[in-house]
Structure 1
């Protein structure tokens, strides 16, 4: 029986390993990682599964599927190795990959402690504790190009660290169905000013 030190859902695994959730399910279906049943999400992944995901897709453009499988065999045979030779010319920095995964896993755990859903508060949307600021709203603002400093200035109840953690938490908890409008959450749009994106030209005045 496999001992699971921490079980990740496919969405959490995708967020921590920085790959698409579709790729995670594809890896499970193709038995690149083991399919361990979970009592809550149907599928559970371990830290070692996350390492396999990161390496499988990280070196996919360099190594064939067969060579990647041999790479995993070598890692399994040398669990304490910092580096593993994939072929005569390629050495994989396994220790660095583990460090990156550990840092993102810790960030996700930190985010979980700072975020909550409370019935009657912003329609039950996940918010940062002690605020009424929806986490997904902050993640969307960042995706549209807003900096951490700009967001904190607009939402002084947030810290810079809260803003930084919005992305990984949102990735680990993808919303299902149609995204809710701000008005449905009891929020108001502070500004309707249109922002110019890229090379888009603003409409010329007819005066």
Structure 2
């Protein structure tokens, strides 16, 4: 089972959309858990993008019918490896309507692999920044990396600030941070993150207003 925020990353939709498919029972109840938080069966994450991506071509009833038809097959994702699921026929047929869920299954499998790699990349330790999540083997806080990416800083600048990282680590750090968002308001700080270096220190003089 994945946290709702993780399911959003794997499904490539917003957290709001994940909450919607839970609240409106678009996903079968068997694929959702509300015990101590909201969780979605990993295999069911293929149904979430299908529901939204097919909205222009299929009615809500047709999409829900397809999801209910796929339910018994996806229930097996609890016991079967993902590679085995991909070898199955994911074509759904209902009278004149034919739907192929395989592209959604493949994309979900790739995103699950990315999520697993992102989890492996990040570590915490009481001896490193007081258990702040950092990139494994470094002291680089993962949320500082994600903030730099989200701010639109060029990759070259970010990699220059943290020479121990590379493009793949940046990508996975962003996935981890999105799947595990920080709670509350971020702490404001004027200090550079530990492990970074100054690229430029050009200061712009403050313009005083005329009295």
Interval of TM-score (by shorter of Structure 1 and Structure 2): 0.7 to 0.9
Specify the SS of the correspondent of 1:104: helix
Matched with 1:168 is 175
Long gaps (5+) in structure 2:
75-87
Q: 1:30 to 1:193 in 2, by over 3 A?
A: farther
Deviation at 1:140? Answer: 1.8
Aligned-pair distance for 1:16? 0.7
Q: Where does structure 1 lack aligned partners over 5 or more consecutive residues? A: 1-6, 195-202
Going from structure 1 to structure 2, the CA distance change for 1:59 and 1:122 (only over 3 Å counts) comes to same
1:68 is the counterpart of 2:76: no
Matched length: 190
In 1: Cα distance, 2:56 partner to 2:71 partner: 22
Query: TM-score, normalization: structure 2?
Result: 0.74
Indicate how the Cα distance of structure 1 residues 62 and 124 shifts in structure 2: closer, same or farther if over 3 A, else same.
Answer: same
C-alpha distance after superposition, 1:36-80 (max 9, x if no partner): 244xx4232113321121211222233222121122234347773
Determine which of 25, 30, 34 is the counterpart of 2:24.
30
| Change beyond 3 A, Cα 1:192–1:30 | farther
Contact 2:2 2:41 in 1 (8 A): yes
Cα gap change, 1:125 to 1:185, in 2 (>3 Å): farther
The match for 1:81 is 89
